[in-house]
Amino acid sequence: MELNRKERWLNALEGKETDRLVFWPKIFSEAYGRNQKSPFNRMSVREIFDYTGTDMHIFLPNYIDHHFNRFGYSEVKQENLFIKTYNTPQGDIKNILRYDSITDSYHPEIMAIKNRNDIISMTAFFQDLRPKINEDKLEKARILAKEFGERGLVADTIGESPMMDFLEWYAGIENGQYLLADYPEEIEGLFNAMHNFLIECTRLKCQHSHADVLYFIENTSTTIISPAQFIEFCKKPLSIYAEICKSFGRRLLFHMCGHLKEILQELRDIPFLAIEALSSPPIGNTTFLDACTALPGKSFIGGTNCLTWLQSPSEIIFELDGYLTELENWRHIIIGTGGIIPPACSPETLTEVANYLYSLPMKK
């Protein structure tokens, strides 16, 4: 049985028989290539995947616009800042993010929600907000998915559940926990408004997406929230989004990249397909064996951590052998880098590891 790259991805995610392991080094942007020696520093992301022979995975661009009756939202990039402005009944509030050239991404610097008034204002903002398909952007996403063809997996993102979104992008981890403790009723109102918006987004993506899989980019970790908070704030909304995806026959993945061991059992009854960015110790705390034992029938992408990929090829292979030997079978396993691959891991290293993994007879 010889499969193309898309078929191999989908079979691995669905726990079906495959001809070899899938290996996805998480390279998202040109920043990885820029930090390599020649000729890789002149290659695109796709060219690096082609050179290394690894299994590619792309995300479609967003095609859902924000629509309002009373308020509004704007984005401005100036120099190395990304300023997001939310129009609310009590005036504008802003998120300010700063660009980091190493990761080629923006990171929050000033949060929009600082106090009770901001919670109430952002609640009104989300209550006024409605998602709407941008047909031009959707067509561009369709063309991209079609052009990519059978080269690998095509994914589309929906969002992030209210609790994680609140802590990561709107209030910050420390202040967000204070606000959760001090203003539970106000937080409940905000989360309900965010949840209702996400339900609409989920339905739209299920109806219109040209991707193979849909994602919630949860970034879950019990270093940020407690297991009890996951049960109280995250489990129910994630279950609702998953049931919507299931009703449309959509494959759903959760990006959960941190410490997960203490909440795995809580995910058992949610109808999703896989966890992406499963991270082993010491960065995460969850191995393939932990996840497969707690969640039989689910699939897992990652299984390593960024420190794995700072080692020599032989050391990486030795570590991977340890994880793989523990497992009864490899049907639900996609080897990945856990998080974004560190630039210190060269394309030559990826090629050597890929060749080794692809030479292994599948453990069925």
3-state secondary structure of 237: helix
- pTM, full prediction: 0.96
Q: How confident is the model at residue 224 (pLDDT cuts 50, 70, 90)?
A: very high
Is residue 318 pLDDT above 90, yes or no?
yes
Among 100-104, 139-143, 242-246, 275-279, the range scoring the smallest mean pLDDT is 100-104
Q: Give 91's contacts (C-beta < 8 A, 6+ positions apart).
A: 121
- State how far the alpha carbon of 88 is from the alpha carbons of 27, 111, 118, 128, in Å: 37, 15, 9, 10
- What is the percentage of the chain residues whose pLDDT exceeds 70? 100
- In DSSP terms, 22 is beta-bridged to 334
Average pLDDT value for residue range 234-255: 98
Average pLDDT value for residue range 234-240: 98
Q: How confident is the model at residue 28 (pLDDT cuts 50, 70, 90)?
A: confident
Is residue 280 pLDDT above 80, yes or no?
yes
In a domain, 73, yes or no: no
Q: How confident is the model at residue 335 (pLDDT cuts 50, 70, 90)?
A: very high
In a domain, 183, yes or no: yes
Q: Give 232's contacts (C-beta < 8 A, 6+ positions apart).
A: none
Is residue 1 pLDDT above 80, yes or no?
no
pLDDT of amino acid 102: 74
Number of domains in the chain: 1
Could you report the per-residue pLDDT of 181-200, keeping only the tens digit for each? 999 999 999 999 999 999 99
pLDDT of amino acid 157: 98
Average pLDDT value for residue range 202-212: 98
In a domain, 39, yes or no: yes
In a domain, 280, yes or no: yes
Rounded Cα–Cα distance for residues 327 and 332 (Å):
10
In a domain, 87, yes or no: no
In a domain, 343, yes or no: yes
pLDDT of amino acid 101: 81
Average pLDDT value for residue range 207-213: 98
Residue whose entry in the numeric block shows the structure tokens 């109808």: 271
Could you report the per-residue pLDDT of 93-120, keeping only the tens digit for each? 999 999 988 777 899 999 999 999 999 9
* CATH value at residue 138: 3.20.20.210
Average pLDDT value for residue range 295-321: 97
Among 103-107, 198-202, 204-208, 223-227, the range scoring the smallest mean pLDDT is 103-107
Mean of pLDDT over the chain: 96
Range of the domain at 292: 5-67+114-359
In a domain, 94, yes or no: no
- What is the percentage of the chain residues whose pLDDT exceeds 90? 95
In a domain, 109, yes or no: no
Rounded Cα–Cα distance for residues 138 and 278 (Å):
30
